Amino acid sequence: MTPLLEVRDLTKRYGPRIGCADVTFELWPGEVLGIVGESGSGKSTLLSCLAGHLAPDTGSVVYDTRANGARDTLTMSEPERRMLGRTDWAFVHQNPRDGLRMNVSAGGNVGERLMAVGARHYGNIRATASDWLGRVEIADERIDDRPSAFSGGMQQRLQIARNLVTGPRLVFMDEPTGGLDVSVQARLLDLIRALVRDLGLSAIIVTHDLAVVRLLADRLMVMKSGRVVEEGLTDQVLDDPQHAYTQLLVSSVLHV
Amino acid sequence: MTDMSQDYNFAYLDEQTKRMIRRALLKAVAIPGYQVPFASREMPMPYGWGTGGVQVTAACLTPEDRLKVIDQGADDTTNAVSIRKFFERTADVAVTEATSEASIIQTRHRIPEQALSEEQILVYQVPIPEPLRFLEPRESETRKMHALEEYGLMHVKLYEDIAKNGHIATAFAYPVKVEGRYVMDPSPIPKFDNPKMDDCPALQLFGAGREQRIYAVPPFTKVVSLDFEDHPFEAGRAAHDCALCGAGDSYLDEVIIDDEGGRMFVCSDTDHCRTRREAGHTGALGVPEAFA
């Protein structure tokens, strides 16, 4: 088996400051990788570099494409990378407003990716949109409402539907549950977990919430000051943290 | 061409500016539907009154040309009259109201009813050249989308139309794809006029003054209106005949004629309507041209 994503020595600097440095890992098909760390530890920079939103300074990100096998996404042409970004990849933003078109109806938001890859039959697009709204527990009658009329949790679920409609294999999530209250968070996590398992998705989830990775992630990377300080199976890292920073992180979680 | 004894250079603009505009025009003709940036000048009229079209016309005019200017199809509205006067004064060119006699036609929001010929240039005044503007406000992003031919978003707008109204309700500035490549805003012409752009023998030039963009559709170019397979493009018009000339196939304006709900529909193309009445056609409220 070949890894879906193979990252080697990825470094991104902001002038003299380090965004992330010398990150190396592999992501296997069907695997969910969590990246945790404090604010400013380079998690989001790393995710942006992986998803092609930021150009890293050095390193390689080799993706196992459906058509042409393993390709370095950093050296591929921009049209190819953008095509990958709206078909085989998905990106779920922390703030749904960044990932949705707020002045376009829910159905149009879900349909956009279909139309971007050439769907030109209104009836079919609408049927698919309606199906996906159902799968993320949004009532069918809300299909023509704009996301601005949705609650935060619904917006986030809509963003997930919009991303998954083209059947991607790799999903990048940046704090998918940030900014939601705990009960909505729990439902969303439940939904994401079901979707990831049902569709056999691979995912990279960036979060500072250890409960989220405990629930979703198979494997965990802990980042501090732009570097990966510890990685391993989620339960192993959380239950028996080795690095001092991970120990601090795990012991800082509040319990009720 | 330069005559220092005159107050203005021929056609108002100086020769260097016209060269700059002609370079942009050549590029625009070479890449149908592509928006070419140009250094738009301040013109002696406000933005929105056709500053882009006027600059393109000025760059194309020769002393031998015969100019026609229409605004919403009419030769006698303020915008048309003042632009026509402007070129009569600054270029001393012949002007006409007859579509067939004109060599350059500057238009705001209509294409003449009468078919154009290879000898003619149609200059459009364009307020907003970017068809994706209201869906994607970032200019950097829309340019990239044009460059990479990512036009799915244009269909999102049509999708929204059908979802809200049951049919494609966009009635003007209806997006078209030019020669299978660039998606273009045909300026706010009614979608009734869209089919006339396809395979048109005349050269079609588009000037947007405020936005500093020029684009073009060369003669005999494929222009396709975007649509869905199950909601095909339809060129709509009011379901009436012209009240003056009886035409059943022209684009109509609705005119309110009293304060009791009375209204009439008349051809928006005044030249077309006049020509028909002169030929003896009379509509429900019209009188034969001989008695008018």
Rounded CA-CA distance A16/A233 in Å is 33
For residue A85, the distance in angstroms to the closest alpha carbon of chain B comes to: 12
What is the edge-to-edge ordering of all strands in the sheet holding A17-27? A17-27, A5-14, A58-65, A69-72
Average pLDDT of the residues of chain B: 93
Share of chain A above pLDDT 90, in %: 77
- Give me the residues of B, 154-173, that contact A with CB < 8 A: 155-156, 159-160, 162-164
Model confidence over A131-163: pLDDT tens digits? 999 999 999 999 999 999 999 999 999 999 999
Task: Enumerate residues 88 to 147 of chain B having a beta carbon within 8 A of any beta carbon in chain A.
Answer: 135
Contacts with B165 (C-beta within 8 Å, 6 or more apart), sequence order = none
User: What is the nearest CA distance from B224 to chain A, expressed in angstroms?
Assistant: 14
pLDDT at B3: 53
At residue B213, the pLDDT reads: 97
pLDDT of residue A197: 87
Q: Do B148 and A78 touch (CB under 8 A)?
A: yes
The alpha carbon of residue A242 is apart from the nearest alpha carbon of chain B, in Å, by 45
Chain A partners within 8 Å of B148 (Cβ): 78-79, 82
What confidence tens digit (pLDDT) does each residue in A57-74 have? 999 999 999 888 899 999
Mean pLDDT of A121-127: 96
Percent above pLDDT 70 for chain B: 96
Residue A104 has its nearest CB partner, among B152, B156, B231, at B156
CB A122 within 8 Å of CB A114: no
Cβ contacts (< 8 Å) between B233 and chain A: which residues? Answer: none
Contacts A107 to B, Cβ<8 Å? 159, 163
Q: Give yes or no for B231 touching A (CB within 8 A).
A: yes
ipTM for the assembly? 0.87
The per-residue pLDDT for B241 is: 94
Say yes or no for a CB contact (<8 Å) between A112 and B164.
no
Q: Which residues of chain B have pLDDT under 70?
A: 1-7, 288-292
The pLDDT-based confidence of A188 (bands split at 50, 70, 90) is confident
Average pLDDT, chain A: 92
* Contact with chain A for residue B253, Cβ under 8 A: no
Read off the pLDDT of residues B160-187 as tens digits, 9 standing for 90 and up.
Answer: 999 999 999 999 999 999 999 999 999 9
Residue A169 has what pLDDT? 94
* Complete domains list, chain A, with CATH: 1-88+169-256 (3.40.50.300), 99-167 (no CATH)
Can you give the pLDDT at residue A38? 87
Nearest to B253 by CA among B50, B123, B48, B74: B74
| Residue-level pLDDT at B20 | 97
DSSP string for chain B:
---TTSSSBTTBS-HHHHHHHHHHHHHHHHSTT--EE--PPP-SS-TTSSHHHHHHHHHH--TT-EEEEEETTBSSSHHHHHHHHHHHHHH--EE-S-GGG-SEEEEES---SSPP-TT-EEEEE-S---TTTTT---HHHHHHHHHTT--HHHHHHHHHHHHHHSS----BS--EEETTTEEE---S-BGGGHHHHTT-SSEEEEEETTTTEEEEE-TT--EEE--BTTB-------SS--TTT--SSS-EEEEE-SSSS-EEEEES-HHHHHHHHHTT---TT---GGG-
Task: Write down the pTM of the prediction.
Answer: 0.88
User: Quick one: pLDDT at residue B183?
Assistant: 97
pLDDT of residue A12: 96
Please give the positions of B annotated as active site.
Answer: 33, 242, 245, 267, 273
